[in-house]
Chain A
């Protein structure tokens, strides 16, 4: 007997950092999903039909039962809350209010402090070349300096705890996977990769552990081959 398709739908290209964030979370929670690709170079994310699900015309958008959501971190929180104790990694969003508070704290730090400089660098170093857009050397320099300051804070924290929010892998760590993946694997920029792989001992240990999780490897497998 054929199995019905999964109820969970994620709209967007797998290689988008925000889409990857959601896919990694679904994998950690062992939740099957349908990935519905959107051709952004053809502007499919700005057509009126998609704007009904995502008024900002960005990816990802998410549908589950009868709910539509956007904003990758809100989607991840919803997925964890909905399937908290039963499926997959039960510690992903904490099992008590104190654990959750710490995870929220580092998830906010990721969104507010880590994401702005790192996503600018991801665009400049990984996507601009593919899109044949000239790189902005000033922006690269400036954002690398900002990112280094954030990573100094992270290195100190990770000397005290195994992962950002405590001693378990959580949403706070997961949220970093997509941007760091691009920064570490962009060719011609070994010095940027070194920020995560050699320059800071605790950050390097943490990156090695979180990037080798099977749930993340399954996400990268969906990226188009070069």
Chain B
């Protein structure tokens, strides 16, 4: 039977990996339709009709079309609530706290992390020179954000609450690149953050996502 779920993206793009990780956690069948971002295919038709912002991933489930990885992961988790891992917390106050940390990942952590991933993780793949000023600036920002994380994780097993949720999952793609770079020291020097990284990166569903990255 043809999968109704389609992801248009690149297996090594952090935002695409956010979506494929969620699909793997929920044990859902899907097709990954490869978009060659190195060729700029995400900035042209037909991809633009899937995401007018020209960014991967785009997502389809039957007639529903979506873009923005965190809107997609939320939809998948809600629509397929009874499948695979539960990636949210149902009780309304705990859910609100989870959402709050979801915004922190999206607007604080990722703003610094995505620039570092680009400079230290992606540019080397394309043979492009890195910008040391951007690395220095964002390393400092990430350092202060991780101090807040250390305190949070000393009080809560996972970032969003007592169980693994989308909040933790959303970090996995950036962590994949950052933990292979000089930035890993910011994580390894903090015991609670370090334990949390080790825990979430060891999940079997995440191993499936990494296995999709071509050599």
Contact = CB atoms under 8 A, between A and B. Distances in A.
Interface string B145-181: 0001001100000000000000000000000000000
A157 interface: yes
A104 B79 CA distance: 14
Interface in A107-165: 107-109, 111-113, 115-116, 150, 153, 156-157
B45 to A, nearest CB: 13
Q: Is the interface of A mostly helix, strand, loop or mixed?
A: helix
Interface residues of B, number: 31
A150 B52 CA distance: 9
Given A71-B103, A153-B52, A105 B71 contact: yes
A82 interface: yes
Interface stretch (B91-99, B188-196, B205-213): B91-99
Most buried by A among B53, B71, B148: B71
B184 interface: no
Given A81-B92, A156-B52, A112 B106 contact: yes
B60 interface: no
A153 B48 CA distance: 10
Contacts of A71: 99-100, 103-104, 107
B64 A104 contact: no
Contacts of B78: 97, 100-101
A173 to B, nearest CB: 15
Interface in A7-53: none
Given A101-B75, A109-B53, A113-B53, A74 B103 contact: yes
Interface string B104-134: 1011100100000000000000000000000
Given A56-B148, A108-B71, A97 B79 contact: yes
Contact of B99 (A56, A74, A97, A113): A74
A107 B53 contact: no
Contacts of B152: 55
Interface of B: 52-53, 64, 66-72, 74-75, 78-79, 92-93, 95-97, 99-100, 102-104, 106-108, 111, 148, 151-152
B68 A69 contact: no
A15 B85 CA distance: 42
A73 B75 contact: no
A104 B111 CA distance: 19
Contacts of B95: 78, 81
Contact of A97 (B69, B72, B75): B75
B100 A74 contact: yes
Contact of A78 (B71, B72, B99, B106): B99
Given A55-B152, A81-B95, A101 B100 contact: no
Contacts of B148: 55-56
B91 to A, nearest CB: 11
A105 B103 contact: no
Interface in A58-117: 65-67, 69-71, 73-75, 77-78, 81-82, 97-98, 100-102, 104-109, 111-113, 115-116
Contacts of A98: 64
A77 B52 CA distance: 25
A106 B66 CA distance: 10
10 contacts: A67-B97, A71-B99, A71-B103, A97-B75, A97-B78, A101-B66, A106-B68, A108-B69, A112-B68, A156-B52
Given A55-B148, A78-B99, 14 more contacts: A55-B151, A56-B104, A65-B93, A69-B100, A70-B100, A71-B99, A74-B102, A74-B103, A77-B99, A82-B96, A101-B75, A104-B74, A106-B68, A112-B68
